[in-house]
Amino acid sequence: MQTDPIADFLTRIRNAVSAKHARLDIPASKLKIEIARILKDEGYISTYKMVDENKVRKTLRIFLKYTADRRSVITGLRRISKPGARRYTGASEIRSVVGGLGISILTTPQGLMSGRSARRARVGGEILCEVW
């Protein structure tokens, strides 16, 4: 049993990027699909799709993005808010990641958003992770 599926999701992406895989499969959930949507919108992954290989459990397939010289677009991922220590922030305290080169992903009352979108919408929330 997993206690932190978001940390598992980020670790699987980190491992696939370091092994230079083209894609990876992850057990799907609504939260993971929304995180994948934000990563695609921000340009960190090529695309994602739902795969129904077995009818019991749905799988999320993520296609990773690389540059022309086979360097990954994702250089780092970090889990911020953990099940044992939740981290919340207001809209005015959302900080930039790696000098503005990365993004933070937040859960807000308006749904999952990147840090920039949350700042623009003037909503705060729980900081799930940072990607750069």
Q: List, for residues 69-81, the tens digit of each pLDDT value.
A: 999 999 999 999 9
Res. 36: pLDDT tops 80: yes
Rounded mean pLDDT of the chain? 95
Query: What CATH number labels 5-131?
Result: 3.30.1370.30
Across 18-45, average pLDDT:
96
Task: Supply the pLDDT for residue 10.
Answer: 97
Task: Supply the pLDDT for residue 54.
Answer: 72
Cα–Cα distance between 77 and 81 in angstroms, integer?
Answer: 13
Confidence of residue 17 (pLDDT cuts 50, 70, 90): very high
